[in-house]
Amino acid sequence: MTGHPGEPYTGKAGTRPANGPDGMPLVLEHHVLTSLLGAWALAACAPAEAEAVEEHLGDCGDCADEALRLREAVGLLQRPESLDLDPGLRTRVLDSCLERRPPRVPVPEWAVAYDAETARLDALLQDFGDAEWRAPVRLRWYEADEASSRRTTVAGVIAHLLTVDGLVAVALGLDDPLGDAAPARPTPSDRTETCWRTARLPPDRSVRAPWREQTHALVRTVSFTGDGTGRTTVPYGDFELPLHDAMLDRAFECWVHAEDIAEAVDYPYDPPSGRHLHRMVDLAARMLPAVLEHRRLHGLASPVERRLVAAGEPGRSLRLEIEGSGGGEWLIPLDSPAAKGSAEHEVAHVALDGAEFCRLAAGHVPPREAAAGQEGDRAAIRDVLFAAASLSRM
Amino acid sequence: MPERDVPPRWDRTMQQRLARGEAAALGELYDRFASLVHGLAHRVVGDEHAADGITRDVFAHVWEHPDSYDPGQGPLRSWLAALTTRLAVRRLRTTETAALARGGPGTPEDLERTVRHASVAARADYIVQSMPAPLRAALELAYFERRDYRRTAMHLGVTDDEARRRLRLGLQLLATAHDSGAPGAPPGIGGAA
């Protein structure tokens, strides 16, 4: 048996200089020779050992049989298939299954984006080694109309998602991932800082499992509670959101931070599917009127120019046109959250791409540079763009 | 791989949740096993699009017939691997037969050989992924990183004896990919059905 192709093997130790440690041919016991068979088949032993094994194979039928078998097995070793599954495959597979057999307990429509986005992020993390988990990430957001940022790592971002998703978990009666360490005022940033500060060690890859378990538990729980939780709200410290919107908000944050992570490790990462992106834009568009009012009260937005609009009445509006997959049009009432958006009272028009709008709302794009197309009342446009950026937080 | 060392209770609970028609369970099943299923399917059919289709068929089968998996018979993971290989080999045989009927190159014997090689390759993949992590790590160092067994031992922090044992045992396990219906191979994963 020729162990190493290309090296003629004579089978006679004497015709080739033996190269045991002491210059003498290696004499190995049978059990040692047998134990070397795997390493020999892989060409992973010293030349003298390989020679001793090959010498032995000529005399020992059992070992020769095994050697042949192991050599053939080496031929079956293949690099693992690329694990980069098409991220869109999950939705296609699940949709096709649910069509064939409608679920008795469906995932509520408003939780599907969260389910999809957490699955996409988890797939991105799949092949990360320690270097990727430690890669630096800069979280960016807008605070008091100024760009803010905070340094952490990929693992730190997942810890951040785990602790803020924990707000929803607590609202649903699940365990708080922060346990007793939870701060009194549960703002996302307070909770995150607490998590980072109280951890004995900096977050590492071990944070992935509890994050993923919690995301699965949230989807499972809202599937069972379903519409019964229509009035459940999730407190964010400074404000609260209905459960439906909180799940959309968490889907949005998951995508935004997945992009941060992908950028940090130089991987490509696509925006969410059109139908999920549409819901995220819709959430932001629905939050804008209240944010505008809040900013007006604090002198950050232009004062109301005309008389206040009665609740439910049409008011001055900005047309937000979102282009691309998941796009649409929203009429944002400018002067009161109680007013109705109205095409007849449109004073300004802003057009931009859906993913770009979300990056603005995530504080990743400066408001002044955001809109591709703008026309109409400059002040109204400025107010809405700054209000959108102010939706962002750590 | 996170899906190993999962207690059998997970398999049993998953089967019950699927049987109850819980869509969230189907998502979790996909998240845990999609890369295994897709990887095995791709190894057999060698085509991304076909592997996507097989992945869809495998999950559809489990979702539509959750009772066809019996937790008492073994891990869900092995059962899914067996199902995947069966469906993938069937698809490969169908496409190859059609190509032959259209006057494509090769003989029916070539077709059988192709199908046999593909199912052995899938079985080998599954064995490598499922073997104890220390064995797999030793094989990877020795084969893909071309380290001899002494450097493999050093890297793993084990004795030379132990490194030799792991390499031999790993290859012995892998060699069973050639035996259809070998002990240790999941039921049905062998047959080129």
Is a pLDDT exceeding 60 seen at residue A9? no
* Position A210 in a domain: yes
* A128 and A257 share one domain: yes
Q: Are A366 and A385 in contact (CB under 8 A)?
A: no
* Nearby residues of B101 by Cβ (< 8 Å), 6 or more positions away: none
**B142 Cβ partners below 8 Å, 6+ apart?**
A39, A42, A44, B148, B149, B152, B167
Please give the C-alpha separations between residue B50 and each of A82, B55, B57, B100, B161, in angstroms, as whole numbers. Answer: 15, 9, 11, 18, 44
Distance of alpha carbon B76 from alpha carbon B66, whole angstroms: 11
Quick check: B38 contacting A, CB < 8 Å? yes
Residue of A nearest to B150 (CA): A45
Could you please report the per-residue DSSP string of A94-152? HHHHHHHS--SBPPPHHHHHHHHHHHHHHHHHTT--HHHHT-EEEEEEEETTEEEEEEE
* Judgement on whether residues A218 and A255 belong to the same structural domain of the protein: yes
Which CATH number characterizes residue A379's domain? 3.30.1050
Residue A366: CA count within 13 A, CB half-sphere: 4
Has residue A113 got a pLDDT over 70?
A: yes
- For residue B161, the model assigns a pLDDT of 95
Q: Which of B14, B29, B35 should we substitute to test contact with A (largest number of A Cβ atoms within 10 Å)?
A: B35
- In terms of domains, do A255 and A165 share one? yes
How far apart, in whole angstroms, are the C-alpha atoms of residue A272 and residue A251?
9
Instruction: Name the residue with higher pLDDT: B27 or A188.
Output: B27
Burial A131-148 (b: 16+ CB within 10 A, else e): ebbbbebebbbbeeeeee
- Decide: helix, strand or coil at residue A2: coil
State the smallest CA–CA distance between residue B101 and chain A in angstroms.
Answer: 30
For position A82, what pLDDT does the model report? 58
Q: Is residue A118 part of a domain?
A: yes
| Structure confidence at residue A286 (pLDDT) | 93
> Are residues A190 and A47 located together in one domain of the fold?
no
Size of interface A-B (CB pairs under 8 A): 169
- Answer yes or no: do A38 and B121 touch at CB < 8 A: no
Find the CATH number of the domain harbouring A206.
Answer: 1.20.120.450
Give the nearest partner residue to A223 out of B24, B128, B175, using CB atoms: B24
**For residues A152-177, average pLDDT:** 94
Q: Which of A318, A311, A365, A364 is nearest to A338 (CA)?
A: A311
Judge whether A162 and A210 are in contact, CB under 8 Å: yes
Q: Are strands A340-353 and A314-323 parallel, antiparallel or unpaired?
A: parallel
Closest by Cβ to A103, choosing from B21, B172, B177: B21
Residue A306 forms part of a structural domain: yes
* A95 located within any domain: no
CA distances to A92, A239, A336, B124 from A272, rounded to whole Å, are 14, 26, 31, 36
Q: Do B23 and A46 touch (CB under 8 A)?
A: no
* pLDDT string in tens for chain B (193-residue length): 444 455 588 999 999 999 999 999 999 999 999 999 999 999 999 899 999 999 999 999 999 999 999 998 889 999 999 999 999 999 999 999 998 888 888 888 888 898 998 989 989 988 998 899 999 999 999 999 999 999 999 999 999 999 999 999 999 999 999 886 543 444 444 433 3
Q: Can you state the angle between helices B108-130 and B23-45, rounded to 10 degrees?
A: 130
Residue A90 lies in a domain: no
The answer to whether residues A281 and A248 belong to one domain is no
What is the pLDDT at residue A326? 86
Which CB contacts under 8 angstroms, 24+ apart, belong to A53-56?
A53/A3, A54/A1, A54/A3, A54/A9, A54/A11, A55/A11, A55/A13, A56/A28, A56/A30
Mean pLDDT (chain A) is 87
Please state the domain count of chain A: 3
Instruction: Give residue A282's pLDDT.
Output: 95
Are A144 and A251 part of one and the same domain? yes
| C-alpha of A280 from chain center | 16
Same domain as A339, residue A378: yes
Pair (A223, A249) in one structural domain: yes
In a domain, A98, yes or no: no
Residues A282, A246 within the same domain: no
Polymer length of chain B: 193
Which of residues A220, A236, A264 is at a domain's end? A264
pLDDT reported for residue A19: 54
Distance CA B14, CA B2 (A): 16
**Amino acid letter, residue B122:** A
pLDDT-derived band at A1, boundaries 50, 70, 90? very low
Residues A73 and A169 in one domain: no
Q: Would you say residue A237 has pLDDT above 50?
A: yes
* Cα atoms in the 13 Å half-sphere on the side-chain side of B4: 9
Q: Which of A132-136, A177-181, A222-226 has the highest mean pLDDT?
A: A132-136
Q: Which of A4, A28, A34, A35 to mutate to test the interface with B (most CBs of B within 10 A)?
A: A35
Query: CB under 8 Å to A226, separation ≥6 — which residues?
Result: A108
Distance CA B110, CA B114 (A): 6
Model confidence at A17: pLDDT above 50: no
Q: Residue A86: its chain B contacts at CB < 8 A?
A: 48, 52
Per-residue model confidence as pLDDT tens digits over A56-86: 999 999 999 999 999 999 999 987 665 678 8
* pLDDT classification of A393: cutoffs 50, 70, 90: confident
pLDDT above 70 as % of chain A = 90
Adjacent-strand bridge partners of A138: A151
Maximum separation of any 2 CA atoms in chain A, in Å: 108
Residue A181 lies in a domain: yes
Residue A32's domain comprises 21-77
CB atoms within 10 A of CB A29: 8
Residue A98, Cβ neighbours under 10 Å: how many? 17
Q: What is the pLDDT of residue A185?
A: 80
Q: Are residues A164 and A131 part of one domain?
A: yes
Enter the pTM of the model: 0.82
Q: Is the dihedral of CA A246, A251, A254, A260 positive or negative?
A: negative
B10 in A contact zone (CB under 8 Å): no
> According to the per-residue pLDDT averaged within each range, which of A15-29, A92-106, A175-189, A301-315 is highest?
A92-106
Residues of chain A neighbouring B20 (CB-CB closer than 8 A): 104-105
Measured CA to CA in angstroms, residue A234 lies from A111, A170, A237, A289 at distances of 14, 8, 9, 20
Last residue of a domain, one of A232, A264, A296: A264
Of A207, A236, A264, the residue that ends a domain is: A264
> Are A139 and A258 members of one domain?
yes
ipTM of this complex prediction, to 2 decimal places: 0.83
Per-residue model confidence as pLDDT tens digits over A259-318 = 999 999 999 999 999 999 999 999 999 999 999 988 888 888 887 765 567 778 888 999
